[in-house]
Amino acid sequence: MTLRVLVVEDDPAIRALIQSSLSVEGFSVQTAVSVSEASALLRHALPDILLLDLGLPDGDGAVLVQEVRRHHSLPILVLSARHQEAQKVQLLDAGADDYLVKPFSVAELLARIRVALRHRGTSVTASVTVHELDDLRVDLTRHSVLCRGAELHLTPTEFKLLARLVRSAGRVVTHRALLTDVWGNEFTEHTHYLRLYMGQLRAKIELDPAEPRHLLTETGIGYRLAIS
Ligand code: CA
C-alpha cells in the first residue's frame, strides 16, 4: 500500500527536497504552500501523515493541527526552526506527534516518519505491554524493568514516568503532557518535579547519567525515550 504524505511548507527548496526524497522511498507526496491550500486538500482527502512547517505565509500551522485533531488521529510532524521552542510546544500540546528541527537530514526525516506511523492506531500499541529498547526491558503489566539483565527497583512515580515515555518511545513528550499524565492536571507548571524524577531515573538506568543514551532532554520542550 502506498502511503500518502502531505507536505505543507512554503520554502521551495525544503519542499522540493522532501518531495523528491520521500517519492524515492515510495511515498505518494502532495504539497501545499499555505494554511488555506493545506486546508482545502485536507477537506478533499486525508493523507496517512502530515508534515507541517510552523511559519506559513497566511498563518500558523497550529490552526491546521487543531483542525485535523478535531476528527482525525493521523500522525503530524512539525518542521521548525531552532528558535521556535514556544510554538513547537504549543503544537505538540495541541496534538502534533513530533517535530524536526531544520536543517534535518533525509535519514532523520524517514526515521521520524517510521516512528510516527508505528504509533498510529493506539489500539495496536496499547496491546503491547512488553517493550524492549536496547538494553532496557519494560513490562507495563507486571511493572517490572530490566536494565542490562538486572531488575531495577523504581518508585511508583518513577515507573509511571518511565511508562509514559515508553508508550511514546522515539517521540518527544512535552513537559505539560508528562506532568499531566504522571502527576495530574493541577501540576502542569511543576517542571522541577520532572527534573528531579528524570535525574533519579537516569541514575538508575543510564550507564553514564551525565551522558544519557535512553532518556534524552529536548531543551525547552520535554523528553524523549530513544529507541536505538
Ligand atoms: Ca516557513
Measured distance CA(157)–CA(183) in Å, rounded: 8
Decide if pLDDT at 128 tops 80: no
**32 C-alpha to center of ligand 1: Å?**
11
In the chain, the domains with their CATH numbers are 4-118 (3.40.50.2300), 130-225 (1.10.10.10)
The grid cell for 149 is 539483565
Q: With H, G, I as helix, E, B as strand and everything else as coil, classify residue 155.
A: coil
The grid cell for 54 is 510552523
pLDDT in tens, 144-153: 999 999 999 9
Separate counts of helices (H) and strands (E) for the chain: 9, 14
**172 C-alpha to center of ligand 1: Å?**
22
pLDDT in tens, 46-86: 999 999 998 899 988 888 999 899 888 899 999 988 788 88
**113 C-alpha to center of ligand 1: Å?**
20
Handedness of CA 160, 165, 169, 173 (dihedral sign): positive
Measured distance CA(68)–CA(83) in Å, rounded: 25
C-alpha torsion angle, residues 38, 100, 109, 94 (rounded to 10): -50
pLDDT for 127: 66
Q: Checking DSSP bridges between strand 4-8 and strand 28-32, what pairing results, if any? A: parallel
Cβ pair 164, 138 in contact under 8 A: no
pLDDT in tens, 13-30: 999 999 999 999 999 999
**52 C-alpha to center of ligand 1: Å?**
9
**9 C-alpha to center of ligand 1: Å?**
6
Q: 8: which strand partners?
A: 32, 52
Nearest to residue 223, comparing CAs of 109, 130, 92, 122? 92
**219 C-alpha to center of ligand 1: Å?**
22
**225 C-alpha to center of ligand 1: Å?**
28
Task: Output the pTM of the full model.
Answer: 0.80
pLDDT in tens, 150-187: 999 999 999 999 999 999 999 999 999 999 999 999 99
**56 C-alpha to center of ligand 1: Å?**
5
pLDDT for 126: 55
Q: Transcribe 50-97 into DSSP letters.
A: EEEESEETTEEHHHHHHHHHTT----EEEEE-TT-HHHHHHHHHTT--
**10 C-alpha to center of ligand 1: Å?**
5
